[in-house]
């Protein structure tokens, strides 16, 4: 049929709409005029006046009041208005001055914080706009609506009213893409419950219902956007270690980004109350996360990794001080005002010292696990099938960075996920500990490894038939194993008696009499036992393992001096420790010391070029080292170390060195009224204490310095 014939066969209304009325007769022209009058008098129906089943779009959504929930101890509410409205959440650790500065910044940028969905303005399209690009071979699909029960229908009605009131959706007709509405449970945190078979199963608590749109057919035909998301571990490492944080959250973040007008009809959904399309980006579109991350990075591009970290809808502002974090917060809020990005007041925490980011706790000391999630993992039941193994490995794998050799530990479970692997659950090999029973440590006797098992006795450990074969037991149980038996401390019986009054039952009356006599020399002061010495001083009783460490510190340490057994014993007693074989162990330790054996008596030809000044008080013995031995050094030494601390002495006895016998020192001593006596040459008995001190210092240095003896200056302080 030609174009002319199609026009002539068209109705009068169609020809009127296309302005082709030249060849109409009088009757047809009358009908045309009536159509024009009807069209001109037709009332334009706006979206607000459109009526649907049981819902009128002019019905107003009841204003929801701001609900103040109970906060943890480290958070509190403050109000940006004098009438107690517009609350925000801040840290309780702030001083009054810091709180005042923070509130001033929040009031100056109050427009960026939203308390209801009606406050959403929409991010400027100059920064970002969502587009739905289709594959070349796509076919539009218009799906019918799904049945909803009365409860779900009411959920959809409230959600549609809320979105219409906020201008996020609008009615539409004559479209090719239609997706159905589905109502799903809104789930909270993970928990563990009993099923019908009284088995523990992990599940999530249902806190309400959520309206979703099934965009699966649309997503299949959509060209995918592969915009990268930031690495979570790298972002957490940059956040960790800061002094203050501000954790922000966008209010319905997806619904703040405009959808391209040419693609809005593709977001159409159907419900019992009509057909609607989204002006702003909805949840459920496959490219929505990429668009949102691209938009956030475009907004905060010059702040990323410097003052803010962005992962989808979570914004984390940080600073190494309160002032720095406050400046960063002010800059970010001003950028939000410029771009019309709105934040959710209930999920924003300002100026806190720690918080939960992406399932991890971020305090100033580093990255930690969220205890709430760890408690959920602890309550998970043992997996009994493939699905349970995947669920368990998924939960614990979230914190694998905190578990050393996680792959090795999880390998037995990971192997069960392979194909054609039999899944057999044998009886438990490890049972829960009974804290009311005693523990036993079973050690392995080996020349090349160490093995130990901490366990408890539950019934009989061996078969009676095996225990009756004594010869076989001796052949399989070597005598060497007996050497690895760990003995009790030597003072265990004394400690039990002093602490609880317990005496061994197997003691006869003579042994018991001796035991009670010896016990009088000990005192119990929880948790230690002390020995009363002959000098009436208390010394703590130590085990053999502790005794070895004490001997090393009193003999081998840099400040010990490598003295002989008697001096080492005196040092141990002076430090306040005791064990029965102290004298014997100290002599053996000094005799077996490698450095003491190598050095022995010091030869004079090995003497080091020391130029120290030694001052010895008659009634005491202590020494100080000086770098030089000239007259000025001696004067400074006497003034700073002797005169200013102990007062001026009556007599100063020294040798005849030039650093002591000079006019400058004589003048100073005369000024302070100190008499100077010079010892004659070749008469060391006069200053015998000096010679003894020099000999001891040389002996200690000989045993502590390295082979090259260049570090004697660093070891000198320890020797003194």
CATH number at residue 263: 3.30.70.270
Is 438 inside a domain boundary?
Answer: no
CA distance 308 to 325: 10
Tell me the pairing of strands 651-654 and 675-678.
Answer: parallel
Query: Residue 714: what pLDDT?
Result: 58
Query: Residue 374: what pLDDT?
Result: 86
Which range, 362-366, 652-656, 687-691, is most confident? 362-366
Confidence tier at 325 by pLDDT (50, 70, 90): very high
Residue 458 or 233, more confident? 233
Q: Which residues contact 683 (CB under 8 A, 6 or more apart)?
A: none
Is 393 inside a domain boundary?
Answer: yes
Which range, 16-20, 252-256, 596-600, is most confident? 252-256
Are 259 and 359 in the same domain?
yes
CA distance 62 to 162: 9
- pLDDT at residue 277 is higher than 90: yes
- pLDDT at residue 364 is higher than 70: yes
Are 574 and 640 in the same domain?
no
Q: What three-state secondary structure class fits 48?
A: helix
How does pLDDT run across 87-134, given as a tens digit for each residue? 899 999 999 999 999 999 999 888 888 888 878 888 888 888 899 999
Q: Which residues contact 478 (CB under 8 A, 6 or more apart)?
A: 445
Structure token digits, residue 625: 């080292």
Are 22 and 81 in the same domain?
no
24: nearest Cα among 39, 36, 41: 36
CA distance 499 to 507: 19
Is 302 inside a domain boundary?
Answer: yes
Q: Choose one of 571, 599, 627: the last residue of a domain.
A: 599
CA distance 283 to 182: 13
- By residue count, the chain amounts to 720
Q: Is residue 346 within 8 Å of 337, Cβ to Cβ?
A: no
Q: 359's torsion region: left (phi>0), alpha (psi -120 to 50) or beta?
A: left
Q: Which residue has the tokens 């501000």?
A: 246
Are 589 and 631 in the same domain?
no
CA distance 616 to 693: 9
For residue 530, give the CATH number of its domain: 1.10.340.70
Are 615 and 669 in the same domain?
yes
For residue 694, give the CATH number of its domain: 3.30.420.10
Eight-class DSSP state of 484: G
Are 237 and 360 in the same domain?
yes
Are 267 and 346 in the same domain?
yes
Is 208 inside a domain boundary?
Answer: no
Q: Which residues contact 245 (CB under 8 A, 6 or more apart)?
A: 239, 316, 317, 318, 325, 349, 351, 352, 353, 354, 355, 362
Mark out the alpha helices in 340-447 (DSSP H runs): 371-379, 386-397, 406-415
Residue 192 CA to chain centroid, in angstroms? 25
Query: Residue 39: what pLDDT?
Result: 46
Confidence tier at 269 by pLDDT (50, 70, 90): very high
Confidence tier at 677 by pLDDT (50, 70, 90): confident
Q: Is residue 276 within 8 Å of 170, Cβ to Cβ?
A: yes
Eight-class DSSP state of 360: E
- pLDDT at residue 276 is higher than 90: yes
Whole-number Cα distances in Å, 178 to 147, 166, 267, 677: 15, 22, 7, 114
Q: What share of the chain is helix, strand, coil (3-state, %, to 5)?
A: 40, 20, 40
Q: Which residues contact 87 (CB under 8 A, 6 or more apart)?
A: 66, 68, 77, 78, 79, 80, 345
Q: What percent of the chain has pLDDT over 90?
A: 15
What is the side-by-side order of every strand in the sheet holding 200-213?
A: 169-171, 274-278, 269-271, 179-194, 200-213
Q: Choose one of 564, 599, 634: the last residue of a domain.
A: 599
Residue 65 or 652, more confident? 652
Query: Residue 266: what pLDDT?
Result: 92
The mean per-residue pLDDT over the stretch 194-200 comes to: 69
Q: Is residue 249 within 8 Å of 348, Cβ to Cβ?
A: yes
Are 271 and 333 in the same domain?
yes
Is 658 inside a domain boundary?
Answer: yes
The count of domains in the chain is 5
CA distance 288 to 267: 12
**DSSP-assigned beta bridge partners for residue 56:** 51
How does pLDDT run across 518-547, given as a tens digit for each residue? 888 898 888 888 998 888 888 999 988 888
Q: CA-CA-CA-CA torsion for 321, 324, 330, 336, nearest 10 degrees?
A: -90
Angle between helices 565-575 and 582-591 (to 10 degrees): 130
Q: Is residue 160 within 8 Å of 275, Cβ to Cβ?
A: no
How does pLDDT run across 606-651, given as a tens digit for each residue? 444 445 454 444 444 556 666 667 778 888 888 877 887 777 788 8
Confidence tier at 217 by pLDDT (50, 70, 90): very high
Q: Is residue 246 within 8 Å of 317, Cβ to Cβ?
A: yes
Q: Is residue 545 within 8 Å of 510, Cβ to Cβ?
A: no
Are 532 and 634 in the same domain?
no
Residue 52 or 451, more confident? 451
Tell me the pairing of strands 179-194 and 355-357.
Answer: unpaired
- pLDDT at residue 461 is higher than 50: no
> Phi and psi at residue 651, in whole multiples of 5°?
-130, 140
Q: 312's torsion region: left (phi>0), alpha (psi -120 to 50) or beta?
A: left
- pLDDT at residue 180 is higher than 90: yes
Which range, 270-279, 439-448, 494-503, 602-611, is most confident? 270-279
Q: What is the CA radius of gyration of the chain?
A: 44
Is 198 inside a domain boundary?
Answer: no
The mean per-residue pLDDT over the stretch 709-720 comes to: 59
Are 523 and 547 in the same domain?
yes
Domain residue limits at 23: 3-42
The mean per-residue pLDDT over the stretch 435-445 comes to: 80
Tell me the pairing of strands 368-369 and 360-362.
Answer: antiparallel
- pLDDT at residue 58 is higher than 80: no
Query: What's the whole-model pTM score?
Result: 0.51
Are 336 and 382 in the same domain?
no
Which range, 283-292, 498-507, 615-624, is most confident? 283-292
Q: Which residues contact 408 (CB under 8 A, 6 or more apart)?
A: none
Residue 465 or 478, more confident? 478
Query: Residue 459: what pLDDT?
Result: 61
Are 360 and 375 in the same domain?
no
**DSSP-assigned beta bridge partners for residue 89:** 77, 349
Eight-class DSSP state of 584: H
- pLDDT at residue 467 is higher than 60: no
- pLDDT at residue 230 is higher than 80: yes
Residue 106 or 375, more confident? 106
Is 326 inside a domain boundary?
Answer: yes
Is 11 inside a domain boundary?
Answer: yes
Please, is 306 exposed, middle or buried when counting C-beta atoms within 10 Å of its C-beta (0-12, 13-18, 19+)? exposed
Residue 433 or 113, more confident? 113
Dmax over CA atoms of the chain, in Å, equals: 155
Q: What is the 3-state secondary structure (H, E, C) of 222-262?
A: ECCCCCCCCCHHHHHHHHCCCCEEEEEEECCHHHHCEECHH
């Amino acid at each position: 049929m030609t174009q002319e014939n199609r026009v002539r066969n068209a109705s009068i209304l169609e020809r009127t709409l296309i302005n082709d009325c030249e060849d109409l007769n009088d009757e047809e022209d009358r009908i045309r005029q009536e159509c024009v009058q009807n069209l001109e008098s037709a009332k334009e129906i706006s979206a607000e006046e459109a009526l649907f089943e049981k819902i009128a779009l002019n019905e107003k959504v009841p204003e929801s009041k701001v609900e103040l929930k109970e906060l943890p101890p480290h958070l509190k509410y403050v109000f940006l208005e004098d009438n107690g409205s517009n609350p925000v959440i801040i840290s309780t650790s702030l001083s009054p001055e810091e709180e005042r500065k923070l509130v001033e910044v929040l009031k100056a940028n109050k427009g960026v914080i939203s308390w209801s969905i009606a406050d959403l303005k929409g991010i400027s399209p100059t920064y970002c706009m969502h587009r739905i690009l289709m594959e070349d071979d796509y076919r539009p699909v218009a799906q019918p609506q799904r049945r909803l029960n009365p409860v779900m229908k009411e959920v959809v009605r409230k959600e549609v009213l809320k979105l219409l009131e906020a201008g996020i959706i609008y009615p539409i007709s004559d479209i090719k893409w239609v997706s159905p509405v589905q109502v799903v449970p809104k789930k909270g945190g993970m928990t563990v419950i009993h099923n019908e078979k009284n088995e523990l199963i992990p599940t999530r608590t249902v806190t309400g219902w959520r309206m979703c749109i099934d965009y699966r057919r649309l997503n299949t035909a959509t060209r995918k956007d592969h915009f990268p998301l930031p690495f979570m571990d790298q972002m957490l490492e940059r956040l960790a270690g800061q002094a203050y944080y501000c954790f922000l959250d966008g209010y319905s973040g997806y619904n703040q980004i405009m959808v391209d007008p040419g693609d809005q009809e593709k977001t159409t959904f159907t419900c019992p109350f009509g057909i609607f399309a989204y002006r702003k980006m909805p949840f459920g579109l496959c490219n929505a996360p990429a668009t949102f991350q691209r938009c956030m990075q475009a907004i905060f591009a010059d702040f990323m990794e410097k003052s803010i970290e962005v992962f989808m809808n979570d914004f984390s502002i940080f600073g190494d001080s309160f002032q720095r974090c406050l400046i960063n917060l002010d800059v970010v809020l001003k950028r939000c005002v410029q771009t019309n990005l709105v934040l959710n007041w209930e999920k924003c925490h300002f100026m806190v010292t720690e918080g939960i980011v992406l399932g991890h706790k971020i305090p100033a000391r580093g990255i930690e696990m969220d205890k709430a999630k760890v408690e959920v993992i602890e309550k998970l039941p043992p997996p009994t099938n493939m699905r349970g193994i995947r669920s368990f490995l998924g939960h614990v794998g979230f914190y694998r960075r905190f578990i050393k050799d996680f792959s090795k530990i999880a390998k037995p479970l990971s192997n069960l996920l392979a194909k054609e692997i039999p899944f057999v659950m044998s009886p438990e090999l490890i049972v829960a500990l009974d804290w009311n029973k005693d523990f036993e440590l079973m050690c392995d006797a080996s020349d090349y490894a160490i093995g130990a098992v901490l366990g408890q006795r539950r019934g009989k450990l061996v078969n009676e038939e095996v225990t009756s074969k004594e010869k076989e037991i001796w052949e399989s149980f070597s005598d060497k194993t007996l050497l690895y038996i760990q003995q009790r401390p030597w003072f265990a019986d004394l400690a039990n008696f002093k602490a609880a009054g317990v005496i061994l039952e197997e003691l006869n009356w003579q042994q018991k009499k001796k035991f009670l006599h010896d016990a009088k020399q000990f005192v119990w002061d929880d948790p230690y036992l002390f020995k009363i010495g002959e000098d009436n001083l208390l010394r703590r009783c130590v085990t053999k393992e502790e005794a070895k460490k004490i001997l090393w510190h009193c003999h081998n340490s840099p400040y010990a001096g490598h003295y002989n057994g008697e001096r080492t014993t005196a040092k141990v007693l002076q430090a306040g420790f005791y064990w029965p074989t102290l004298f014997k162990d100290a002599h053996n330790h000094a005799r077996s010391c490698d450095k003491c054996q190598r050095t022995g008596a010091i030869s004079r030809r090995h003497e080091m070029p020391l130029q120290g000044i030694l001052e010895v008080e008659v009634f005491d013995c202590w020494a100080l080292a000086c770098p030089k031995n000239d007259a000025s050094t001696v004067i400074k030494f006497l003034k700073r170390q002797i005169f200013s601390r102990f007062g001026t002495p009556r007599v100063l006895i020294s040798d005849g060195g030039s650093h002591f016998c000079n006019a400058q020192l004589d003048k100073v001593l005369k000024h302070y009224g100190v008499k100077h006596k010079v010892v004659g040459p070749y008469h060391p008995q006069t200053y015998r204490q000096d010679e003894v001190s020099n000999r001891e210092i040389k002996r200690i240095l000989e045993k502590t310095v390295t082979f090259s003896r260049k570090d004697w200056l660093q070891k000198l302080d320890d020797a003194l």
